[in-house]
Amino acid sequence: MMMQMYWLGPLCGGILAGLLYDLLFAANASVAKLKALFTRKDYDDSQFDERGRRRAKERDDAEAAQGLKDTAAA
């Protein structure tokens, strides 16, 4: 039992530390980024700019895929 704790403790701690840093303490950490991690299957850090907001291209593509944009009006 002690051997499993010896291996699992540092591995779980490292994973948790990486997530905390990326989502809470990094320069581009934001609520939108945290929400996307738990709600989107295709989460990718490169979809967010340096302020933690989703990039415009991905936002437009997501809206078009969901049918929220009205492309017929023009």
57 is a domain residue: yes
Distance of CA 43 to the CA centre of its chain: 5
Question: Quick check: pTM over 0.75?
Answer: no
Structural domain of 53: 2-66
> pLDDT by residue (tens digit) across 34-62?
888 888 888 888 888 888 888 876 565 66
pLDDT at 56: 75
> How many folded domains does the chain comprise?
1
73 is a domain residue: no
Flag whether pLDDT at 11 surpasses 90.
yes
Token duo for residue 48: 């967010």
Instruction: Report the 3 state secondary structure along the chain.
Output: CHHHHHHHHHHHHHHHHHHHHHHHHCCCCCHHHHHHHHHCCCCCHHHECCCCCECHHHHHHHHHHHCCCCCCCC
